[in-house]
Amino acid sequence: MAEADQPVFIRKMAFAFYAFLLILGIVFYIGWGLYFGTWNLFTKENIGVYAVTIVLVLFGLTGMLLYRRD
């Protein structure tokens, strides 16, 4: 299916989902920092938080770029 053949509603829903992933990644990072009092994700103890944050943010950004309005 060509990109122009996709219904507008599906593109908007996909964009909204990826925007949600981006926001979730940012909120997760801020929430973790506030709750545990640490903002350094590169320490050995926080590497899992870094992995989750990066995956959410990068998937969100990539999806938003792919489904943005032309």
How high is the pLDDT of residue 39? 79
How high is the pLDDT of residue 38? 83
The letter for the amino acid at 17 is F
How high is the pLDDT of residue 31? 93
How high is the pLDDT of residue 35? 92
How high is the pLDDT of residue 14? 93
Residues of the chain with pLDDT under 50: 1
Task: Quote the tokens at residue 2.
Answer: 């060509």
Q: How far apart are CA 63 and CA 16, in angstroms?
A: 9
37 phi/psi in degrees, rounded to 5: 70, 25
Closest among 15, 28, 14, 16 to 57, alpha carbons compared: 28
